[in-house]
């Protein structure tokens, strides 16, 4: 799940697995596999970074004994 900001300044938490594509038109529009579209303040690059960070946290957790 990634946290994003709608144009109305409302925070929305989105299931990153539902993202079909992201476009800048000039506002950032996220199209979901459900057919819905969401406009957010974050740039496409920011969204990509958040998805990567989320996926790394889920699929590549720190090795045991290395937690800070």
Model pLDDT, residue 61:
77
Q: Band the pLDDT of 14: cuts 50, 70, 90.
A: very high
Give CA–CA dist 51/19, Å, rounded.
10
pLDDT reported for residue 30: 98
Domains of the chain with CATH codes: 2-59 (2.40.50)
For residue range 22-59, what is the model confidence (pLDDT) as tens digits?
Answer: 999 999 999 999 999 999 999 999 999 999 999 999 88
Torsion of CA 20, 22, 28, 31, to 10 degrees: -20
Residue 9 pLDDT exceeds 70: yes
Tokens 């079909």: give the residue.
20
Instruction: Tell me the whole-structure pTM to 2 decimals.
Output: 0.83
């Amino acid at each position: 799940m990634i946290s994003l900001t709608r144009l109305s300044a409302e925070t929305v938490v989105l299931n990153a697995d539902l993202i079909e594509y992201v476009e800048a038109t000039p506002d950032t529009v996220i199209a979901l596999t459900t057919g819905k579209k969401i406009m957010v303040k974050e740039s496409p690059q920011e969204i990509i970074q958040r998805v990567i960070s989320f996926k790394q946290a889920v699929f590549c957790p720190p090795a045991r004994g290395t937690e800070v």
